[in-house]
Amino acid sequence: MRSDEEARPSPETLLKVCQAEEAQEASGKLKIFLGYAAGVGKTYAMLEAAQQRLRDGRDVVVGYVESHGRSETDLLLQGLESVPKAQIEYLGVILPEMDIDAVLKRKPQIVLVDELAHTNAPGSRHEKRWQDVEELLSTGIDVYTTVNIQHFESLNDIVAQITGVIVRETVPDSLLDRAIEIRLVDIPPEDLLQRLREGKVYIPEKAARATEKFFKPGNLMALRELSLRRAAARVDDQMRAYMESRSIAGPWPVADRLLVCVSGSPFSERLIRTTRRLADEIKAPWHTVYVETPGGGKHVRENRARVWKDLRLAESLGAQISSLTGVSVAQALIDYAVKNNVTKIVVGKPTKSRWREFLRQPLVDQVIRLSGSIDVHVVSITAEGAAPKMARQKRPMPWSGYLKSIALVLAASIVCEPAHQHLAPTNLVMVYLLAVVLAAVRLGRRESMLTAFLSVLAFDFFFVPPRFTFAVSDTQYFITFAGLFMVGVVISTLVSQSRERADSIRERELQTASLYHLSRGLAVSSDLEAILAELVKNVEESLGANVMVLLPDGERLEERAASTGMALSIKELAVADWAFRNHSPAGRGTDTLISAELLYLPLQTSGDVLGVVGVKLRDELEYSSALSRRLLEAFATQVALAIERVQFGKQAEQAQILQARETLERALLNSISHDLRTPLVSITGALGALRDKLNPLLEEAREDLLDAAWEAAGRLNRFVGNLLDMTRLESGALKLKEVPCDVEDLVGCAIAAVEPQLGKRKVELRIDEGLPLVNMDMVLMTQVLVNLLDNALKYSPRENPVELAATLVRERLTLAVSDRGPGVPEGELPHIFDKFYRVPVPEGAGGTGLGLSICKGIVEAHGGTIAAENRSGGGLQVVVTLPVR
Partner 1 sequence: MKTDSTKPRVLMVDDEVAILRFLRVALQNEEFSLYEAENGHSALAAAAAVRPDIVLLDLGLPDLDGVEVIRRVREWSQVPIIVLSVRDSEDDKVGALDAGADDYLIKPFSVGELQARMRVALRRSLQPGPEPVVRCEELEIDLPRRRVTLSGAEVQLTPTEYELLRLLAAHAGRVLTHGQIMKQVWGGSYGDQNVLRVTVRNLRQKIEPDPSRPRYLITELGIGYRLKCD
d(CA 149, CA 164): 15
Give the interface segment with partner 1, choosing from 511-519, 550-558, 740-748, 840-848 (CB under 8 A): 740-748
Q: Could you tell me the smallest distance in angstroms from the CB atom of residue 739 to partner 1?
A: 6
Distance CA 774, CA 812 (A): 9
Closer Cβ to partner 1, 737 or 810, answer by number: 737
How is 304-335 classified by DSSP, letter by letter?
HHHHHHHHHHHHHTT-EEEEEE-SSHHHHHHH
Which residue of 366, 782, 791, 848 would you call a contact of partner 1, by CB under 8 A? 782
Least Å distance between CB 782 and partner 1? 6
Sheet holding 320-325, edge to edge: 320-325, 286-292, 258-262, 344-348, 375-379
State in angstroms the smallest separation of the CB of 713 from partner 1: 7
Residue whose CB is less far from partner 1, 38 or 765:
765
Instruction: Please state, in angstroms and as integers, the Cα–Cα distance from residue 581 to each residue in 586, 612, 744, following that order.
Output: 11, 10, 70
Interface region with partner 1, contact rule CB under 8 A, candidates 347-355, 549-557, 745-753, 808-816:
745-753
Neighbour tally for 120: CB within 10 Å: 20
Query: 379 vs 713, which CB is nearer to partner 1?
Result: 713
Which phi-psi region, left, alpha or beta, contains residue 91 (left: φ > 0; alpha: ψ -120 to 50)? left
Q: Nearer to partner 1 by C-beta: 141 or 784?
A: 784
- SS3 assignment, position 347: strand
Q: Does 362 bind partner 1 (CB under 8 A)?
A: no
Separation CA 19–CA 714 (nearest Å): 67
> Considering only residues 597, 620, 730, 744, which one is a binding residue for partner 1 as defined by CB under 8 A?
744
Minimum gap (Å) between residue 724 Cβ and partner 1: 8
Residue type, 762: K
Strand partners, 344: 258, 375
Residues 6+ apart with CB under 8 A from 58: 109, 110
Asked if 620 is part of the footprint of partner 1 (rule: CB under 8 A), the reply reads: no
| C-alpha R_g of the chain | 44
687 touches partner 1 (CB under 8 A) = no
Q: Please report whether residue 721 would count as binding partner 1 according to CB under 8 A.
A: yes
Phi and psi dihedrals of 674, rounded to 5?
-70, -50
Stretch that binds partner 1, among 300-308, 457-465, 601-609, 734-742 (CB under 8 A): 734-742
Helix (H, G, I), strand (E, B) or coil at 51: helix
Q: How far apart are CA 193 and CA 207, in angstroms?
A: 10
Minimum separation from the CB atom of position 675 to partner 1 (A): 17
| Out of 364, 749, 808, 867, the residue judged to bind partner 1 by CB under 8 A | 749
Nearer residue to partner 1 within complex by CB, 144 or 719: 719
Q: Which stretch binds partner 1 (CB under 8 A): 14-22, 78-86, 157-165, 732-740?
A: 732-740
Chain residues 751-780 in contact with partner 1, contact rule CB under 8 A: 751-752, 765, 767, 773, 778-779
Interacting stretch for partner 1, rule CB under 8 A, among 27-35, 227-235, 657-665, 741-749?
741-749
Beta bridge partners of 869: 877
C-alpha distance from residue 365 to each of 218, 233, 270, 278, 326 (Å): 38, 34, 20, 21, 18
Q: Minimal distance in Å, beta carbon 744 to partner 1?
A: 5
Is 105 or 691 the residue whose CB approaches partner 1 more closely? 691
The CB-of-750 to partner 1 minimum distance in angstroms stands at 10
Task: Report the residue from 34, 112, 334, 747 that binds partner 1 according to the rule CB under 8 A.
Answer: 747
Residue 101 sits in the site that holds partner 1 (CB under 8 A): no
The verdict on 17 binding partner 1 (CB under 8 A) reads no
Rounded Cα gap, residues 256 and 343, in angstroms = 6
- Binding of residue 670 to partner 1 (CB under 8 A): no
CA–CA distance, 275 with 253 (Å, rounded to integer): 17
Minimum separation from the CB atom of position 743 to partner 1 (A): 9
Residue 832 dihedral angles phi and psi, to the nearest 5°: -70, -15
- 676 near partner 1 (CB under 8 A): no
Number of residues that bind partner 1 (CB under 8 A): 21
Query: What is the distance between the alpha carbons of residues 867 and 616, in angstroms, rounded to a whole number?
Result: 58
Q: Decide: is 9 part of the binding site for partner 1 (CB under 8 A).
A: no
739 binds partner 1 (CB under 8 A): yes
Distance CA 756, CA 844 (A): 20
According to CB under 8 A, which one of 598, 741, 784, 859 is a site residue for partner 1? 741
Q: Which stretch binds partner 1 (CB under 8 A): 33-41, 82-90, 140-148, 749-757?
A: 749-757
Judged by the rule CB under 8 A, the positions of this chain that interact with partner 1 are 713, 717, 721, 737, 739-742, 744-745, 747-749, 751-752, 765, 767, 773, 778-779, 782
